[in-house]
Structure formats: structure tokens, C-alpha cells
Chain A
């Protein structure tokens, strides 16, 4: 028998303990490595999740602010009178029952019924905080329609981006007969060979009238030009009331799937945004077409006719942006063309004949060969603008959304 196996007689100083220590050392190193990797990953995902929470908190702040403007009498009045200020700031802690979540809302009135809302959210994680800031411009139509006298009107004023009429495309021919061509901010004619003709009306702007395009001109026949002049409140359109009066209601999909040649009669209400991208397409509305969302028209040879109806009136009313980007389009509208945000024409060979009036938050003509003939006709648009039918614009609209970073 080997002597060292005789335990009782030998004081053993073996090496297995060393091996165990070495092995454990290496394994501990590995474990530390993995733990640090996992912790870094976990921190990254936590930070991602907190950043998302902070964003939605700020969004909740904006919604809270809009609710206040719609429903709280004090906020509502201050908003309509253009007197929102620091005293209206809101600070909410413990949002959704989470003690780490809070947001602050500040309001700045930029004009009557127009304001800038800034929501800053804070979400705490341990000793640090995540912040997100969202800035929106909101407005509410607050004018009166009873003596409306603008043939073309671009009306938002609070936001630097809106309230202009700009012609940047080439060969735009715009003829306005019977009343005013008015922008609450600037009228810019930058495109070449643009011709703006006003017959028996006026050319007015709250800001400047600029004529810069080469070979472009403004012709005033029995008309006047005035800038800067006083601004005009955008007339009210109550889209909820229109929904209640609708004779036919469509979803976006149902409306977009209508075949060419469709003729719709009455008050046609589409519950959401519409994109029509068709070729050689004809659509006729005998009455009023209301789109509760934006309307985007592209494709080619799109023909849209809106005929005035004695019972329902006439018009194309859009609760959002109206963008026409196709080619060879033809629009013949008897009544009111109303878009609560931007009316943008960026296609080529676009023809608009409107007997009534055009009201928009902002108008941009950047396409080429745009021909627009507007004959002011109060009878055709008054039914659509009638205050009795539009008791209130109960919707505060966000006309621009911006994240601050």
C-alpha cells in the first residue's frame, strides 16, 4: 500500500484545493463577464423602455391639454381670446398611478383661438430621469360665416408655417372673380410665368405680397390690393354635426373602392382619410362630400365634379390636409372647398373650377400648369358654411406636431 494513502498516519497537504480554487477563479471570471454583459443589455433595454414611456407620457400631456381646451371653461375662453399664459400651466404628478411619471404642460397663445402647447414629460429611473418634449400648434375655427366675403382664403395665423398662399410652380394661372384673394400671412409668387388675375375683388394679406417669379404678374381688374391688412378668423365648420346629417356614410376603404363613373347624391360622409390614386377616373357628387381626415389625390386624369344641390348645398370639406399630386386632374366644384389644414397642389396640369369659395389653413401651389378659376358665389357655399348648420367647431385641431430634441 502506498504510504500516503494511509490517512491516519499522514498529514496530507494535497493540491485538489488549489485546482478547485483555480477552477472557481476562472468560472467566477466568466460569471462576472456574463453578468456585466447582461447588466449592460438590461440597462439598454430599460433605457429604451423608459424613453418610450416618456414619449407616451408627453403625448398624454398633449391630449390632456387639448381636453382642457375643449372642455374647461377657463382654458376654453383663454384659448379663444388668445390669453393663455403661464397661469394656465399644468403640472401632473403620479400619472396613471405611477409615482415616477409626471408631465408639465405650458400654453402660449399665438393668436385668437390658436396656441402652442408644449408638454414635457419626466420618467424617473433610480437617481436619473428621462425627459421627452412635444410641441404642437393647435387651432380652432372661430370666425363667422354669415357675411363671408373671401373667394380664396388661407387662414391659420399662429403657426409660422401656415396662413400663406404661395405659388412656387411654373405657369400657374389663378383667376379670382367677384371677391377677395386673402391670406392671413403672406402671399408669395415665386414660380415663373405665374399669372394672378383678380376681377372685381381684392388682393389682401395680413403680411406681405411678394412677386418674385420671372415673367410672373398680378393683374387687378376693378380690384384693389392691400397689405398688410387685418386678419380674418377662419370660419367654423362642425364636422361632428355634418356626420349626424350625412345621408350616406363610407369608410375609407369603401370610398376608395368606388368604381369610376360613380355618382353620389346627398351629404356623403367618409369617416377617415382617403387616398385616391387612379387613372382615368370620374367621380360626381351631387351635394356635399365630407372627408373626416386628409384627402390625397394622385394618379392621372382624375375628374371630380361636385354639383350644388338645393337641399344639401355643395362642397368638398376636408378635416385635414388636401393634397393633389397627380397629373391632368380636373376639379369642378360648385360650393365650398374647405380644408382645415393645408391645401397643397403639387401635380402638373391641374385644373380647378370653383363656383363658390375656397377656405384653407394654408395654400401651396408648387405644381406646374395649375389653372384655377374661382367665381365667388355666396349662394353655393352658404349652405355649407351656414352657422345654423355649424353651431360650433368643437374640435381643437393639431395642425403641427413636433418633437423637441
Chain B
């Protein structure tokens, strides 16, 4: 009677109980994992969207800060609102390089912000860079894109510029049904 009973394996009942418990626990973990994955993807997508916005603003701000002249007529701000006639693109004279009359343009194409460099010239003398509004009685000024257009950021649904000399830039970002708004002001040091 005192003989000890050693268990050498699991019975079917034990296995069933363990398996069902395991499935239950795994199910709970899996749904937690799926939820976490979803949250991770969303935050990653949001971070990517914001990073794109940051890159666009960083580059545009740096170049506008150095601009020698803004070609477009920027509308005045109306209090804190964005004016209805705010510009969707901005062209200005590059102040970073030594020679005058090199122009840069920022604009939106599909969901990307594009940047291009433009040169104005008379066809009879294509090597001389001219102001955008140079005129001649014998020929009209031509323009050519010397670099770009290149995308500098994506996931953009709106791009607006207004006010001068403190130029406002407004960016609305959109990705996977999530939206983010970025705004900044830049003071043109050479305007």
C-alpha cells in the first residue's frame, strides 16, 4: 500500500487540458500581438509622415531664409487664418550661391513636394543667367529647369505659402487616413 506511484507520462485528459489552456493563452497573446502590431504600424506611419514634413520644412526654410528675392507676390495674412489666395508654390532667387539670378521653385505634385532649379536666359546668349523678368525688344526671355524637379518629401495633401518678410509655410500631411498639420514661419535674411 505504501508503494509510491510514479507517473511516467501524461494522460489524454491532461494533454487536452494543457492544449486547450495553451490555445487560450496563445489566442490571448496573439490578439495582443496583432493589436500591438497595428499600433506599431500606425505610429510608424505617423512618424514617417511627420519625418517627411520635417525634411520638407527644414530644406525649404533654409533656402527661403537665404533667398535674395521672392518672385511670387505673397498675400498678407488675415489674423491667424490662412488667406484664401495663399500660394501653392513659391519661386525665389537663390541666395546661397555667389552668382545672382539662379532660381528655386517649390511646388506640390500629386502627394509630393517637388523642388527644381530654374535659369532664365535669352536664346541668343544661353550662358548668361538673367533675372526672371528680363526683357528685350528683339527676343523674349526663356527658361529652363537646370536641376530637378526632384521630390523632397511625400504624403503631402496641402502646401501653402503666404506673408512676407516672415513667410508662413503650411503643410498638411496625410497617410493611411491619418492627418498631421505642420506650420512654420521663416524670416528672409536677404530680402
Contact = CB atoms under 8 A, between A and B. Distances in A.
A320 to B, nearest CB: 8
A27 B75 CA distance: 54
Interface in A379-405: 398, 400-403, 405
Interface stretch (B92-100, B150-158, B171-179): B92-100
Contacts of B44: 37
B166 to A, nearest CB: 10
Given A48-B54, A191-B134, A275-B164, A23 B66 contact: no
B14 to A, nearest CB: 7
Grouping DSSP codes into helix (H, G, I), strand (E, B) and loop, the B interface class, with mixed when no group exceeds half, is loop
A215 interface: yes
Residue from A168, A344, A401 having most chain B Cβ neighbours under 10 A: A168
Contacts of B100: 161, 364
A30 B36 CA distance: 8
B133 interface: yes
A26 B133 CA distance: 65
A402 to B, nearest CB: 6
Interface string B52-63: 001000000010
Given A275-B164, A298-B73, A400-B95, A346 B137 contact: no
Contact of B131 (A2, A37, A366, A401): A366
A193 B136 CA distance: 8
A41 B5 CA distance: 59
A39 interface: no
On chain B, which size bracket covers the interface? 35 or more
B73 A277 contact: yes
A83 interface: no
Contact of B33 (A26, A346, A400): A26
Contacts of A169: 131, 133-135
A171 interface: yes
Contact of B29 (A27, A44, A294): A27
B131 A15 contact: no
A160 interface: yes
A4 B137 contact: no
Interface string B1-18: 000111100010110001
Interface string A219-248: 000000000000000000000000000000
Interface residues of A, number: 53
Given A44-B51, A192-B136, A323-B69, A364 B4 contact: no
Contacts of B51: 44
Given A277-B73, A403-B65, A170 B136 contact: yes
B78 interface: no
Contacts of B191: 294, 321
Contact of B6 (A11, A168, A323): A11
Nearest to B74: A275
A402 B188 CA distance: 11
A190 B128 contact: yes
A191 B136 contact: yes
Contacts of A2: 13
A213 B134 CA distance: 12
Contacts of A16: 21
B138 interface: yes
Contact of B95 (A344, A346, A401): A401
Contacts of B14: 4
A160 B4 CA distance: 102
A4 B7 contact: yes
Contact of A37 (B40, B95, B133): B40
B135 A160 contact: no
B144 interface: no
A19 B17 CA distance: 13
Closest A-B pairs by Cβ, 9 of them: A401-B189, A366-B131, A192-B136, A368-B135, A170-B135, A170-B136, A168-B134, A193-B137, A15-B18
24 contacts: A4-B7, A10-B5, A10-B7, A15-B18, A19-B21, A34-B36, A37-B43, A41-B47, A44-B51, A170-B135, A190-B130, A192-B136, A192-B137, A298-B73, A346-B131, A348-B135, A366-B131, A367-B135, A368-B133, A401-B66, A401-B189, A403-B62, A403-B96, A405-B62
